[in-house]
Amino acid sequence: MNRSTRNRNLLSNQRQLSTGLGKASLFIVGLLLVAGCGNQPSTPSSTSATSSAHEIVEPVVTETEKEPTTTEQESSTSATTDSSSATSTVTDNDTDISGTTILEAANKGTLPDLPEGLSLGSSRSTLVRLQGKPELGGTEGPMLSYGTLDVTFDANDQIVEFTSGADAYKKLKIDTVIANLGKTAETNDTSKDIAYTAEATYHLTNPKFPKSFLIFSYNTQSQHINYVRLYTDIQ
C-alpha cells in the first residue's frame, strides 16, 4: 500500500471515531438532562399543595344551631301556657277547700281529698282499687298508710277512720274553720302528746253512721290545721 492510500485510511478512521464520540457525548448529555428534569420538584403540585394548606374552611351550620322556627316558638309558648294553667288549677282547688266543704263531705262519710266512691264503711278491696297499694308494706293490717293519708279498718275490714294531712288542709286556720262551722262540740288539749297542739271536734249528721265525728288537729300557736280526722263507731 502506498503512502497516499494509508493517509486516506487514517483520515477516514479519525472521522469515524470523531463521529462515534460525538454521538456518545450527545447520548450522555441527553441522559443527564432527563435525570435532571426528573429530580426537579413539580411547580404546579407545590403551588396546589400550598393553596390547599392555606384554604379557609367555612363553618358548617347544623340543624340544631339554626334559629327556631315560628312553629317551634309557638309550641314552646303553648307548653308554657298549659303549665301555667295547670298550676293555676291546683291553686284554685286549694282555695276551694274550707271548713264548710270539709264538713259537707264529712257528713257524706268522706273527705274532699279522697277519691270518689271511697268513704266510711268502704271495704279494704275498694280502698286498694281506688287508692292503690300503700307505698310501704302490704294491704293487710288494721291500718294502711298512703303518705299523708292513714286509713283504719274494723274487724270486718270496713273503713272506720280517715286521717289526712293534705296540704290544702294545712293552709286553713282553726279560727276560720270555727267561724265557718260554728262552735265546736268539744275541744281537747293534746299538748301532752305533741307540744302546742289541740283538737276541735264536731258531731256529724250522717244517718248511715249516727256516731261519726270530724276532728281538726291544729297548732295552738300558729292556729294552722295539722290534719283532719273523720271517724265513726260502726254498730
Q: How would you classify residue 132: left for phi > 0, otherwise alpha for psi between -120 and 50, otherwise beta?
A: left
What mean pLDDT is predicted for residues 102-130?
95
Widest Cα–Cα separation across the chain: 171
pLDDT at 58 over 90: no
What's the DSSP call for residue 58? P
The overall average pLDDT reported for the chain is 75
pLDDT per residue as tens digits for the range 99-111: 999 999 999 999 9
User: Which residues, including other chains, have CB under 8 Å from residue 232's CB and lie 6 or more apart?
Assistant: 109, 120, 121, 160, 161, 206, 209, 211, 212, 213
Instruction: Please tell me the distance from the alpha carbon of residue 166 to that of residue 173, in angstroms, as a whole number.
Output: 14
pLDDT at 208 over 90: no
Phi and psi torsions of 199, nearest 5°: -130, 135
What mean pLDDT is predicted for residues 184-199?
95
Instruction: Please report the pLDDT score of residue 138 as a whole number.
Output: 85
Instruction: Please tell me the distance from the alpha carbon of residue 212 to that of residue 234, in angstroms, as a whole number.
Output: 9
Q: What percent of the chain has pLDDT over 90?
A: 51
pLDDT at 4 over 60: no
Q: How far is CA 32 from CA 37, 43, 222, in A?
A: 9, 20, 110
Q: What percent of the chain has pLDDT over 70?
A: 59
Give the residue among 197, 201, 188, 204 at the shortest CA–CA distance from 221.
Answer: 197
Amino acid 196 reads Y
Instruction: Please report the pLDDT score of residue 107 as a whole number.
Output: 95
Q: Which residue has the higher pLDDT, 107 or 88?
A: 107
pLDDT tier at 9, thresholds 50, 70, 90: low
Most confident by average pLDDT, 2-6, 54-58, 133-137: 133-137
Q: Are 204 and 106 in contact (CB under 8 A)?
A: yes
pLDDT tier at 7, thresholds 50, 70, 90: low
Instruction: Please tell me the distance from the alpha carbon of residue 163 to that of residue 167, in angstroms, as a whole number.
Output: 13
Q: Where are the beta strands (DSSP E) in the chain?
A: 143-146, 149-153, 159-164, 186-189, 197-203, 212-219, 225-232
What mean pLDDT is predicted for residues 204-213?
88
Q: How far is CA 117 from CA 25, 89, 126, 209, 222, in A?
A: 119, 23, 8, 16, 34
Instruction: Please report the pLDDT score of residue 135 as a whole number.
Output: 80
Instruction: Please tell me the distance from the alpha carbon of residue 190 to that of residue 70, in angstroms, as a whole number.
Output: 61
Instruction: Please tell me the distance from the alpha carbon of residue 14 to that of residue 10, in angstroms, as a whole number.
Output: 6
